[in-house]
Chain A
Amino acid sequence: MPTTKTPKVNEVNEFLEIASDFEDPLELIRESLSNSHDANSTEVEITVRDRPLGSEIIIEDDGDGMDHGDLESFFDLGNSTKRGLDDESIGYKGHGTKIFYKSEEVVVNTTKNGSNLRARMKKPWEKLNSRTMPEYEVTETPVRNGNSGTRIKITGFKSGHGFSPASLTYNKIEHYLKWKTLAGSTAHFFTDDFREMDITIRLGEEIDNSQKKLITNKKIEFPPEQLEPGDGPFPEERMCKHYPPRELLVETENGEQTVVEVVGMVGGKEARNELPTYGKHSVQFGVWLAKDHIKVERLNEAISHDNEFLHFFFVANCQDIELSANREKVRNKSSPVYQAITEELTHYLSKITADPWFQKYLDQRREARLARRAQSQRSSVKERQQQIQERDQFSPSNSIEVMLGLERSNCNGRQHITVEDYDPNAEVNALVRQNDSLYASSIHQRLTDHFEADKPLESIDKIICWSYGDLDELSELERNGYHGGGISINFDRNLLTYQNGCHHTIDIVSVQDRFSSIN
């Protein structure tokens, strides 16, 4: 006789697991902004302070507030009531607020429909880690109708390693707000009745005292367009073009349909820097997939490989992508709808990369780079001219110039030595002619270079060099030998003798000496 069993959920572990996914206090700000948006707030203020026992974060908004049911959803897991009642609402899994559990204390003070509720949860993180479900106390106080809003105070937030609030700055927060939260929403491009929300962030002076607060809104705006190049060595850097909002209708092979709302810009470094960037552009720009108009993950492969993605800043919003619990990843990448979205986006972006303006922008970059290189070459030529004017005599700086010097030394009664063949990569790099005979030769700036290059001596008839180089080095060679053989140099007769089983004599042609006698 079969028995029916229902799988059980370990509630504490579930809470612990979900909350553990969140590590960064910035994520707490992201979730709070989404909550305030869902509560129809027009203003939200977030204060972050760094305290010895962990950070203190206060979120205060003028939204609809919470009643008993809402408060339960706030603390419960997977019990969100938002989606379905209001299509614009962001939270729907009931996961986001569980980040608040990573703290010493959570105090929620909220007013709705003439009633103020104060909920207090003590040591939630400690209790979860000791496998106890934390509880919260709720106190209800009647208040006058008309006022609503919520204030949440998180004390002793447990940031993950490397995510200490002390490392925050206004600049870093602004970038995060615009890249990862509702504050960087692209929704306003696609609706006529966009709801504004003012966002104020205050950091304790112990975190960043460079300004008192940061005020922003919940929309990302692109830097002003500049379709023509500017002046100076980087004329393309401020070029910027906006690509207006487009709704792409996407249909999967099995007939499912969805809409991708895409808007974006292409711009040079200076134009991109007018956005609240932080760190390398290569990790911020490209093509972002978004849900609820909040950027989630990049899909830079939608831009063909022959284009650098960092010139692009596109946000493609689709409500049919599914997110991981911490909203950092797209979860349904193997679904037909995701595949269809990526195909449609790839097609759309191929039009951007084929846009004549973008080609002009790339041409400007290339031309400016060539102009800079030409300028640098002009400077280099000038320096070289100066060096020539300042020197007393011809002085080669490489083996080719030694060859030129050799040719120039063929006068004034000197025996003619002409280079008939030169292969810079060969062990014996030159064949020279003297008195109608050809000689296997090695041409170097200094005689010592031949030995530094570890070249053989057996196959060499002549070593042609500008000078002998460091005479002590040559003496050491005479003392220690070379390639297992003995060397002796007769400086008066310009001869090098190599003994390695057999006796081999090599002519040393010092071009400098031939040159000196000309002058």
Chain B
Amino acid sequence: MAHSQTRQRDTDFFEIVEKSGDARSGVLRVNGTELETPNLLPVVNFYGGGTSESLYGGGIHRTIKEFINGNEAVNGADFSQYFDGVMTSVSSLTDYGINRERYEDYIAEPIKEREVLDFNGTLFVDSGGFKFLGDRKLDGSDFEVEANQKSIFEIQSKLGGDIMVNLDRPISPDDGYQERVEKARLTAENVDTFLNLTDGSSQIRYLTLHGYNYSMLDTFLTEIEAVIGRDRVHCEFDGVALGGLVPIKDSKEKLITAVSDCRDVLNDWGFKDLPLHVLGISSSSIPLLAAVGADTFDSSSYLQSAINGKYSTSLLSAVRVDDADFSECDCPVCSDPILVSRMQGDVKYQKDKLGAVAVHNLIIQKREVEKVRDAIQSPSSDALINYIEQSLGRDKSMQQHAHRVVNESLGGYF
């Protein structure tokens, strides 16, 4: 379906600095923070369990916060560049069974204003729609909060998010047409409330979209437009967050189609200059999806891999942390003898071992994202083609996907 171009919201939030084929490199500016794109926002749980003495966190989440702060507990180095943008979710409050008192304490003060945290990056707060899908409740140990758009937005605001998304109803690959349309309609009602609750002056607002191909995304957007009206769709959002992709994360082919078609839909609806965030996807998908026009990503894969004992050696490969040769990596974690000894198991608590591994895993991904950015900013598209070919194209399982994005988005090899 073709849609005439309509004026977009006049904002200097996102500036596209350079393009290479369909890939873009730019800057997100919000509340005094700057985030270069493409970029990966690690998912961080700022509030999971514990007490104020333990940085409001328990387990590995606490160790991650120590790295963000550069605490002495992790030998005091500065890791802030790897946390220039962070994703957290309202649903992270449900990761631990907290009581109401603790819950109220957690949301009493915005994250960036908390004394126990030294985080100054861009804070993206997801609505957590993917977790509230079933019971639509935020469960604590002795309380429940109804997970509707109003309550979720209230929490997002209290957490002090720079960028927020509406509460969505994610689709699943098994959904039929009617189910998807119904979810789009329910999401649209949330979007309506979301826009009514905000004026856009103090928050950056992202619209969540769901769909695995052009037609699904177009239908989803059409439903949103039908509920909130054409003007609001076109004038009140600063960015788009493509969700519902986690169930298809293992199919690069489907991911590329979803993101590439999303860009086409956005272009046809007159949203071509809005930043596109891909929810919940990272690792080897980043270069492929950045090549077709995704601007930011978020994922907890760095953390999940570490929890599973995996130490990344590249975007594509990992070894068991107990088999890792830390001397082959020059990242700040692997260059610090104390952190290396912890990764080797010389620790009292597993969180201190695996937390270090998680930050190493994050650095591996962040470094690759930086290479992608540099390649996009090169004068010719050859740099990005070469990067994709060298990083992914030599791997048998990735080759066809690498060729596809080179051909479809970067002008091809011939």
Contact = CB atoms under 8 A, between A and B. Distances in A.
Q: Do A and B come from one complex?
A: yes
Nearest to A244: B414
A352 B403 CA distance: 9
Nearest to A357: B414
Nearest to A347: B394
A356 B412 CA distance: 8
B151 interface: no
B399 A347 contact: yes
Interface string A344-363: 00010011101111000000
Given A347-B394, A347-B399, A354 B404 contact: yes
B413 interface: yes
B407 interface: yes
Given A356-B407, A356-B408, A351 B400 contact: no
A92 interface: no
Given A347-B399, A350-B399, A350-B403, A355 B414 contact: yes
B413 A355 contact: yes
Contacts of A356: 407-408, 412
Q: Is the interface of B mostly helix, strand, loop or mixed?
A: helix
A243 interface: yes
A355 B411 CA distance: 10
Contacts of B394: 347
Contacts of B408: 356
A355 B393 contact: no
Given A347-B393, A347-B394, A354 B400 contact: yes
A357 B394 CA distance: 22
Interface residues of B, number: 12
A420 to B, nearest CB: 33
B81 to A, nearest CB: 34
B398 to A, nearest CB: 11
Interface in B211-230: none
A354 B414 CA distance: 11
Interface in B368-414: 393-394, 399-400, 403-404, 406-408, 412-414
In this complex, the interface size class of chain A, counting residues with CB under 8 Å from chain B, is: 10 to 19
Interface in A328-382: 347, 350-352, 354-357
A391 B406 CA distance: 61
* A351, A356, A357 interface centre (most CB from chain B within 10 Å): A351
Contacts of B414: 243-244, 351-352, 355, 357
* B403, B406, B408 interface centre (most CB from chain A within 10 Å): B403
A356 B413 CA distance: 10
Interface string A91-123: 000000000000000000000000000000000
A290 to B, nearest CB: 21
A356 B404 CA distance: 9
B215 to A, nearest CB: 21
Nearest to A356: B407
Interface string A233-254: 0000000000110000000000
B337 to A, nearest CB: 32
Interface in B10-58: none
Contacts of B412: 355-356
Nearest to A353: B403
Contacts of A354: 400, 403-404, 406-407
Nearest to B413: A351
Nearest to A350: B399
Contact of B407 (A243, A347, A355): A355
A244 B414 CA distance: 8
* B404, B407, B408, B414 interface centre (most CB from chain A within 10 Å): B414
14 contacts: A244-B414, A347-B393, A347-B394, A347-B399, A350-B400, A351-B413, A354-B403, A354-B404, A354-B407, A355-B413, A355-B414, A356-B407, A356-B408, A356-B412
**Top 10 nearest A-B pairs by Cβ distance?**
A354-B403, A351-B413, A356-B407, A350-B399, A355-B414, A351-B403, A354-B407, A243-B414, A356-B412, A354-B400
Given A351-B414, A354-B404, 18 more contacts: A243-B414, A244-B414, A347-B393, A347-B399, A350-B399, A350-B400, A350-B403, A351-B403, A352-B414, A354-B400, A354-B406, A354-B407, A355-B407, A355-B413, A355-B414, A356-B408, A356-B412, A357-B414
